[in-house]
Structure 1
Amino acid sequence: MLQTLFKTIATNADFKNTIWKSFLKRWFVISAMILFVTAIFSEDIYHADEYFQTIEFTNYKLGNINSDMLPQEFRDQIRPWLQPYIYLLITKASYKFGIYSPFTITFFFRLFSAFWAWVMIALCCMMTPQFYICLDQRRFTVYLLNLIGILPYMLVRTSSDALSTSFSMIGFALLFLGSIPKSCTPLERSYSNQLLFCVGLIWGVAFEIRFATAFLLIGFLLWFVFSGIKTLKKTMKQLLVFFVGICLPIFLSTLLDSYAYGNWCFAPWNFIVQFKNANIDATRSSYIFDTLPFWGYFKLVFSSEHTIYSFINPILFYSSIVGIIRQPKNVLSWITTVYIIFISLIPHKELRFLMLIIIPACFLTTFAISPSNNTNNFFNKIWNWRKSWGAWFIYIANFFFLIMYVNGPNKDYFPINKFIYNNVPSNSIVFLIHCQPYYTNYYLRTHFYQPKNVSFIDQDSIPSIKKISQPIFFVTFTDQQDSLNSEEQKVELLFSYQKTNLYSLFRKLLGKKNFKVWRLYKLKLKKSSEASEDFFNTVKRRKTKLLPY
């Protein structure tokens, strides 16, 4: 069976074309290198959910935190446990080999995401002959899949968005690579029951990582039914096999969720109830979201929430719309259209919700600019424009963003987290003066990155401390060194970090100051082991005006 499947995949990937095969092999290596380097350096958190909905759940199962330290989603039992338990296995395996650093362990998490992202991109590159006859169109799609600045960074995240995108598109690519095209068109195919069952398993796993994958599934099923309407009886039998494959991971994950939460539950249903309440009647829900109208995504893609989004997203999004218009019967058009409709019906909108269709968007972008049979057609001019100076400007700008995000970090508090973990000794006290290096903007603490035997005390607790025998450190944004040195104590600067981005560099050129600089100081007492209350009050009074980032 596997031998037959591999032969079918090789045929559908057009491996008989040696030039094309060599091209793909070269890009398989390039893709692996980009994803691996990105997994190493992008240590930060893009969105809080990629930490609190996955890693912090794992941290709870490790026994490091209590359930009341978890986000509201835990109490509502709406998050699936499949991804946190995968991370739990990786963490315990790391412990077996004597690896305890949370930063190394989260690198393994990102490497896990990067591996499946690489498999997904490789399969999607191999799938291009099923959509394009022209070699130039295939190559252009391969370039998009591998070099769009946002993709490597987003695909190696520990978020459910990243992992579900990889698994859903792996299933989709296998369905087209493992099936046999009919003579009339490559999109009309003959599927084996074994293939449909295996793809159903993969899509079931994708659903249990992120429930929004169901919207992609609905689009595909609609296309599958309408494309096989002439043989409806056979199509329905195939769908039954497909659904059995999908339901198996859902059933097993429901057992896992019930075990993890401590009672019988069906997380997808809980999610629907809570999300419905949040969007219809906020008084009945634990969640209050910002809302946008149905057409919100058409405007949101221009948002400057994320630098790279503001540049890439409009191009991909609107090119996809053009591609859908030009190829209305294509399966990628169906799944993208249905997905956009469903997430547009949800009042709460975020750019990251578009992550699941970013791979189809690459294919649709190629459709959008592909030439037509009419030599004087507008799209022929667009296709030829891709080699112009204007197009090269876009390519270079995109490459700049690719390098920038491969080389993270994006969040400024990660370097000081790492320094504290590696350099502050056990049984120390770290005072947090007008700053919170272990908090995100969601007011939840990132416990996983905190050293276990170090006490962190907020400035509000300092006046009650009169005598301290442990090593004393404090974190602040202000320059304290010169003003706080005296005959009784000495302040030593151990670490300083300032986030550098285009905005901060521009303000430096203009001579502006008051940038946020994380500083870690060590207090050395000269005459006694007693740290005076006046000293800490002096530290607390020294605030600094910070610029918003």
Structure 2
Amino acid sequence: MKLTFKKWILFSAAIIFILTAYFSVGYYHADEHYQIIEFAGLKTGMNAPGEMPWEFHAQIRSALLPTLAYWIFEMSSFFQMTDTYLYLFILRLISGFSCLFALVFFFRKSGAFVLFSGSDSFLRTSYFILLLLSWYIPFLSVRFSSETWSAIFLLLGLGFYFEIAKNRSIALVVGILFGLSFLFRFQIAFGLIGVGAYHLICGQQKLRTTLGLLSGFSLVLLAGVLIDRWFYSEWVFTPWNYFWLFFENDVLNQTESSFGTSSGFYYLETLYQLPTHFAGVVILASFIIVLIFRPRNPVTWFVLPFALIHSLIAHKEERFLFPIVFLVPFFILSAFSFLTSTRFKKIFKPIVYGTLFCLFFIHSVGLFYMTPKSAGHGRNEITQYIHTHYGSQKIHLINTPAANPYNPWGSLPTKIYLEKHIQFLQVDNLAGISDSMFKPDYVNLLVLRGYDIDHNYLPGNIDRMGFRLEIQSISKKEQSMNRYVKGFVNAEVIYLYKWERK
């Protein structure tokens, strides 16, 4: 079988997704762990209800994704898999390949909305490359998180929706897919409202297809209620609980978010900063061009209300927009295809091609750095190292405040990562360490943050204390790259030392 260039791209993407799933140990954000893995641990017997985070007791999280994790854990146990890190690698691998399938499907279905009939093969191939191999795509795809799984079913739903006018019978399927996207992450409703408006204003066969969409969506909501009943052991409608809690706190009581607030321009600033300034400008300009000149498509109608409503909410995080960053190539190539089809195409074409080559370079460099990177600040890069090198031994772990990778916030430990024979001792700073703290029959380890090093809390040279650096959660190479994208705070980098007997 002859391998075309696109098949080579797909093959390369599959390899990068596998490598990313392998290296991307841990979680990008706490919710990725505590709201899914620890929830699943309740059913496996790892956790008791009293050990669960507050969201469990408030019953504001759909049990769909934790249930999926539970089933995978049980299946892994059936095949005699006992290693925690293997369990979690399997979750990331399933996420990655599910997302890869959804991206390829979306590419095949969205071409007519992205590219003009006169667009050349280079633009079509560029669209495929950016969809699969933008520097952030593999990293986000392997996250076993609500944002990623919502994006998977959003891509599938939009892909089918592109053909709903030709095949009215798929309306039920589209409704089911949009419903699953909603159950994985309730905030996706902001964008689905926009798709609903597009359907009523611009759609065809409105009555029959609308009934199909609503029927499919309702079936998923009913299934979600049944899953939540099994998980919470009582009847509960988690979407209502979630949005009522938000409405009560933010609207009725106008309570300031305990998680912090940001300006209304937070997402614009993040867009300009995180993908590099050049790529940020290209993305923003592309969206404006599509919004002005090519607005009649469901993707634009989804993204606009989704981004605007999130901008109005006081508490903001870049991960809240993760479900729509998979759609960024749609806007870039839609804009570029439009520019190269105008009467000024002789001017725009070299600009478009040059911009694409610059984007390819940025994404190539980004993939080089992101593929071997652990998730977040790399806390579980540290725990995996301890597990691999010292897991069978008795461990005495000394840590400074907020440096303990097993319990970074001091209230809820990440129980799935805990070693059987490990003890913890927290010190206020390194000046408080004395020889009497070390245990002779244990492996004595020290964990501290970059903050401790930056503020020079070390009593002299750490080597003279008998410590030897084993590993740091984020490599020096990544730290040097971070000055361009500012994706993490160097003060939060974790360093693992081993105490050597003098």
Residue in 2 that maps onto 1:277: 248
Q: What is the distance in 2 between the residues matched to 1:505 and 1:453?
A: 36
Q: State the percentage of identical aligned residues.
A: 24
Q: What is the distance in 2 between the residues matched to 1:507 and 1:262?
A: 46
Amino acid in the other structure paired with 2:127: T
Structure 2, unpaired ranges of 5+: 449-457, 484-489
Indicate which of 196, 203, 226 corresponds to 2:171: 196
The alignment status of 1:162 with 2:148, answered yes or no, reads yes
Residue in 1 that maps onto 2:372: 407
Q: Structure 1 pair 281/458, CA: closer, same or farther in 2 (3 Å)?
A: farther
Amino acid in the other structure paired with 2:167: Y
Residue in 2 that maps onto 1:240: 211
The alignment status of 1:519 with 2:471, answered yes or no, reads no
**Residues 427, 455 of structure 1: 8 Å contact kept:** no
Indicate which of 100, 107, 111 corresponds to 1:129: 111
**Residues 60, 239 of structure 2: 8 Å contact kept:** yes
Question: Which one is further off, 311-320 or 200-209?
Answer: 311-320
Residue in 2 that maps onto 1:320: 287
Amino acid in the other structure paired with 1:256: I
**Residues 128, 138 of structure 1: 8 Å contact kept:** no
Q: What is the distance in 2 between the residues matched to 1:514 and 1:203?
A: 40
Q: What is the distance in 1 between the residues matched to 2:269 and 2:99?
A: 29
Question: Which one is further off, 39-48 or 129-138?
Answer: 129-138
Residue in 2 that maps onto 1:368: 335
Give 1:391 shift: 5.0
Written as runs of structure 1 = structure 2, the 5 A alignment for 1:331-346 is: 331-346=298-313
**Residues 153, 177 of structure 2: 8 Å contact kept:** yes
Amino acid in the other structure paired with 2:297: N
Structure 1, unpaired ranges of 5+: 1-18, 180-188, 485-490, 526-549
* Cα distance per residue 1:356-404 (max 9 Å; x no partner): 2223331121122224587653x6533321333x653442122101221
Residue in 2 that maps onto 1:428: 394
Amino acid in the other structure paired with 1:454: I
Q: What is the distance in 2 between the residues matched to 1:235 and 1:516?
A: 54
Greater radius of gyration (CA): 1
Q: Structure 1 pair 408/310, CA: closer, same or farther in 2 (3 Å)?
A: farther
Indicate which of 2, 12, 20 corresponds to 1:30: 12
Q: Give 3-state SS (helix, strand or coil) of 2:445's partner.
A: strand
Q: What is the distance in 2 between the residues matched to 1:46 and 1:87?
A: 17
Residue in 1 that maps onto 2:191: 216
Q: CA RMSD in A?
A: 3.5
Give 1:320 shift: 1.6
Q: Structure 1 pair 380/430, CA: closer, same or farther in 2 (3 Å)?
A: farther
**Residues 24, 126 of structure 1: 8 Å contact kept:** no
Amino acid in the other structure paired with 1:170: L
Give 1:45 shift: 2.2
Residue in 1 that maps onto 2:130: 144
Q: What is the distance in 1 between the residues matched to 2:295 and 2:492?
A: 51
Amino acid in the other structure paired with 2:385: F
Q: Structure 1 pair 22/423, CA: closer, same or farther in 2 (3 Å)?
A: closer
Indicate which of 408, 414, 422 corresponds to 1:454: 422
Q: Give 3-state SS (helix, strand or coil) of 1:169's partner.
A: helix
Amino acid in the other structure paired with 1:66: A
* Cα distance per residue 1:234-286 (max 9 Å; x no partner): 4122211221111112111112112212222110011101222343367868x
Give 1:315 shift: 3.1
Residue in 1 that maps onto 2:260: 290
The alignment status of 1:92 with 2:57, answered yes or no, reads no
Q: Give 3-state SS (helix, strand or coil) of 2:126's partner.
A: helix
Q: Give 3-state SS (helix, strand or coil) of 1:45's partner.
A: coil
The alignment status of 1:258 with 2:229, answered yes or no, reads yes
Amino acid in the other structure paired with 1:125: F
Question: Which one is further off, 433-442 or 97-106?
Answer: 433-442
Written as runs of structure 1 = structure 2, the 5 A alignment for 1:434-473 is: 434=400, 435-440=403-408, 444-459=412-427, 471-473=442-444
Normalised by the length of structure 2, the TM-score is 0.83
Amino acid in the other structure paired with 2:418: Q
Q: What is the distance in 1 between the residues matched to 2:131 and 2:102?
A: 10
Q: Structure 1 pair 324/375, CA: closer, same or farther in 2 (3 Å)?
A: closer
Question: Which one is further off, 73-82 or 394-403?
Answer: 394-403
Q: Give 3-state SS (helix, strand or coil) of 1:301's partner.
A: helix
**Residues 323, 366 of structure 1: 8 Å contact kept:** no
**Residues 371, 380 of structure 1: 8 Å contact kept:** no
Higher relative contact order at CA 8 Å, sep ≥6: structure 1 or structure 2?
A: 2
The alignment status of 1:349 with 2:319, answered yes or no, reads no
Question: Which one is further off, 366-375 or 108-117?
Answer: 366-375
**Residues 369, 478 of structure 2: 8 Å contact kept:** no
Normalised by the length of structure 1, the TM-score is 0.77
Q: What is the distance in 1 between the residues matched to 2:387 and 2:290?
A: 49
Q: Give 3-state SS (helix, strand or coil) of 1:237's partner.
A: helix
The alignment status of 1:67 with 2:32, answered yes or no, reads no
Amino acid in the other structure paired with 1:86: L
* Cα distance per residue 1:401-447 (max 9 Å; x no partner): 12211111252432320122233355724232323122346864322
Give 1:520 shift: 4.1
Q: Structure 1 pair 219/466, CA: closer, same or farther in 2 (3 Å)?
A: closer
Q: Across the two proteins, how many residue pairs are aligned to each other? A: 474
